[in-house]
Amino acid sequence: MFDNFLKTAALCLAVAVGVIAGGAAAAATYPAQPIKIVVGFGPASAADILTRLIGKRMEVKLGQPVIVENRAGNSSMIGAEAVARAPADGYTLFTATIANTLNPAQTKSDFDLGKMLAPIALLGVVPNVLVAHPSVPASNLSELIALAKSRPETLTFGSSGAGTASHMAAELFNEKAGTSVVIVPYQGGSNQAVSDLLAGRIALMFNVAATLAPHVEAGKLKAFAVAQSRRATIMPDVPTLAEAGMSEYDAGVWIGLLAPAGTPSAIIDRLSIAANEALKDEEVQRALKLQGTDPVGSTPKEFADFIRADVEKWKAAFAAVDARK
């Protein structure tokens, strides 16, 4: 009986060594063919632009073409699930965004981004900014919160649709500030909401800095804070919500690179180095600044920790929304 145990143990060890050796061999020759990055949104989206900029620089580092494929649908979940089913060989990657943690949290889906895909690097963040129509009688975040508390369910937040980043940024604000600002979802997206904000038909909105910055500079809107942990490159004079007095708030529209779960760690590390080096390219940084995207960069572990925290944050936020209904 003990002999059988030893034989079984030896077989398991041999299989494990073979798997490790196979992974190491594959990593040693990687990449030997073009690499495809799937983007879950259409051409000219923030995720698409960032992916194409990074991909061109990664080609130089990796010595193989990097092909970007747009596979939009279901808030990018179609693309995410397709890449999760792809071979774990480093030749099919996915550009994820905040939508891939928001959507499963909202729909209670079994899809788990950090488990079904292997994090490579957090690439960048498109900052969300809290703005108001000039008629709102508040000049800073403390005054705005006091105003909202004195007028419960009177002020209005515009959002680009139920469950979107701008909607949940507003929900998170209400939760942390203890306010009850009414959230108005615009099914056609953010353009109509911004138009109504400029006209004074709604009072407040969280939206991407690149869209709002020209209106703030023109005095048509006033900015209270950036909804992420650091200031936005495109609006450097606007404080973060933490600086303005609201701690532990981060609702930036992040973008990151992942591979199918099970991809050898040596390949993940090589891709991470290539992506992070691409982010340091001066031309890439200039192009991203024009688009209103802040380059970030991270190790695979740092990105994995970030995703885990983001998933838990949005699960708690949706649970709080359900509890208030």
Q: Report the percentage of the chain scoring pLDDT > 70.
A: 92
Beta strand residue intervals within the chain, DSSP E: 35-39, 66-70, 92-97, 117-126, 128-132, 156-159, 182-185, 204-208, 222-226, 253-260, 294-295
Q: What's the confidence (pLDDT) of residue 12?
A: 52
Task: State the pTM of this model.
Answer: 0.87
Q: Is the pLDDT of residue 3 over 90?
A: no
Q: Is the pLDDT of residue 234 over 60?
A: yes
Q: What confidence tens digit (pLDDT) does each residue in 205-220 have?
A: 999 999 999 999 999 9
- 2 pLDDT band, cuts 50/70/90, is very low
How far, in whole angstroms, is CA 280 from its chain's centroid? 19
d(CA 205, CA 197): 8
- 248 pLDDT band, cuts 50/70/90, is confident
Q: Is the pLDDT of residue 115 over 70?
A: yes
For the chain, the structural domain boundaries read 31-126+253-319, 128-251
Three-state secondary structure string covering 287-324: HHHHHCCEECCCCHHHHHHHHHHHHHHHHHHHHHHHHH
Q: Report the percentage of the chain scoring pLDDT > 90.
A: 76
Determine the CATH number of domain 128-251: 3.40.190.10
Q: What's the confidence (pLDDT) of residue 274?
A: 98
Q: What's the confidence (pLDDT) of residue 13?
A: 55
Segment 300-317 shows an average pLDDT of 94
Q: What confidence tens digit (pLDDT) does each residue in 56-88 have?
A: 999 999 999 999 999 999 889 999 999 999 999
Looking at domain 31-126+253-319, its CATH superfamily turns out to be Bordetella uptake gene, domain 1 (3.40.190.150)
Q: Is the pLDDT of residue 146 over 90?
A: yes
- Residue 41's φ and ψ, nearest 5 degrees, are -130, 170
Residue partners of 58: CB distance under 8 A and separation at least 6: 35, 66, 271, 274, 275, 278
Q: Do domains 31-126+253-319 and 128-251 have the same CATH topology?
A: yes
